[in-house]
Amino acid sequence: MRFSGSIENRAAKEKAIDLAGESRTGLGCMALTGIYGEVERKQAIGTLHTALDYGVTLFDTAPLYGSGANEELLGDVIGSRGGTTIVTKFGLYANAQGELFRDSRPETIRSSVESSLKRLKRDRIDLLLQHRTDSRVRVDEVRVCINDLISEGKVGAFGLSCVTSNDILFWSRDGGLDAVQNELSLNTGSKRREIAIAEEESAIYMAFSPLARGILTGSRASQQGDIRMSMNGFPALRDSFRLQAEKHRATIDLEGGSHARQAIDWVLAQGSNVVAIPGCRTPNHVAEIFR
């Protein structure tokens, strides 16, 4: 089932299932184009096909990931395939030097959406997120532009990424939100207030990095080009949070399953409107989570 803005009055739980299926779990695609080290195109394609074989229907991307290469990959493998939902974003980009900058001017939003549609080979973006808020642009300007894109059939629904509880409340009361995407894992701890506010506003809560960028599964950051190598104290954090994960595992009422799956199920247990989007770089990673 395609997710669309037409279901905005339905319960957040039902919207979460519409977005990602009964499992409420989709695939975060950022790692497929090099953020955690180089990934060969053949491997990336195989990872996506494995996800499709396991029944994954939700795929999360952004123009920022690989400077558009991530969206192009999804366009080549998934394109307009029926029964799939694509989430992409606008508002956060990188210049030639790799420095990040925010830009949510209406003309930039529209240009970004048009470019994403071409790369994704789709007629509509099912869910469009503002990657980061932009204090230089008025909220009403962003809202009008998004509403126009929805009216034109180019965007199905709208949400925010990396925002506070106050942001959720403000935007919801300014015209409604379909989704919020924030980091959530055993690493971050419960964010029940944020999740509850989103649910009260009939918004899905999309949890990115539910495995804490691999910390909770013992991932090693050793490849050239792995952004985790630039994170201060990553090895120590990894070991600390692995111990924390072991502590929490004892409180999770599950039998069997991989460490990764248990960590994701903890995330999903935080609210019926929560959807997890773990990242995977290999077919084996996909199988560990979705089998």
CA angle 108, 112, 115 (to 5 degrees): 140
The closest of 44, 95, 100, 52 to 69, measured between CA atoms, is 44
Looking at domain 5-290, its CATH superfamily turns out to be NADP-dependent oxidoreductase domain (3.20.20.100)
Query: Looking at residue 188, what is its pLDDT?
Result: 87
The closest of 77, 144, 68 to 106, measured between CA atoms, is 144
**Mean pLDDT value across residues 17-22:** 95
Helices (H), the chain: 12-20, 41-53, 69-77, 106-120, 139-151, 165-173, 192-200, 234-249, 259-268, 283-290
Phi-psi region of 258 (alpha: psi -120 to 50; beta: other; left: phi over 0): beta
**Mean pLDDT value across residues 26-54:** 93
**Mean pLDDT value across residues 154-175:** 93
Query: Looking at residue 237, what is its pLDDT?
Result: 55
**Per-residue pLDDT band at 175 (split at 50, 70, 90):** confident
All structural domains of the chain with their residue ranges: 5-290
**Per-residue pLDDT band at 235 (split at 50, 70, 90):** low
Distance from C-alpha of 252 to C-alpha of 249, rounded to nearest angstrom: 5
**Mean pLDDT value across residues 45-71:** 98
Q: What is the pLDDT of residues 246-278, one digit of tens each?
A: 555 554 444 456 778 888 999 999 999 999 999
**Mean pLDDT value across residues 98-105:** 96
240 pLDDT more than 60: no
C-alpha neighbours within 13 Å on the C-beta side of residue 76: 12
**Mean pLDDT value across residues 134-140:** 96
Query: Looking at residue 229, what is its pLDDT?
Result: 45
Q: What is the pLDDT of residues 147-158, one digit of tens each?
A: 999 999 999 999
Reply yes or no on whether 54 is catalytic. no
The closest of 95, 166, 94 to 131, measured between CA atoms, is 94
* Sequence-distant (≥ 6) Cβ neighbours of residue 138 within 8 angstroms: none
Residue pair 146/22 in contact (Cβ under 8 Å)? The answer is: no
At 180, the amino acid letter reads: V
Strands 158-161 and 92-94: unpaired
Distance from C-alpha of 184 to C-alpha of 211, rounded to nearest angstrom: 9
State the chain's mean pLDDT as an integer: 87
| Encoded tokens for 46 | 């195989």
Which of the two residues, 212 and 113, has the higher pLDDT score?
Answer: 113
200 pLDDT more than 80: yes
Going from the C-alpha of 218 to that of each of 239, 242, 251, 260, the distances in angstroms are: 8, 7, 20, 10
Q: From the candidates 36, 65, 93, 205, which is the catalytic residue?
A: 65
236 pLDDT more than 90: no
45 pLDDT more than 60: yes
Query: Looking at residue 239, what is its pLDDT?
Result: 56
Q: What is the pTM of this model?
A: 0.87
Going from the C-alpha of 104 to that of each of 66, 95, 118, 170, the distances in angstroms are: 20, 15, 20, 17
Query: Looking at residue 52, what is its pLDDT?
Result: 98
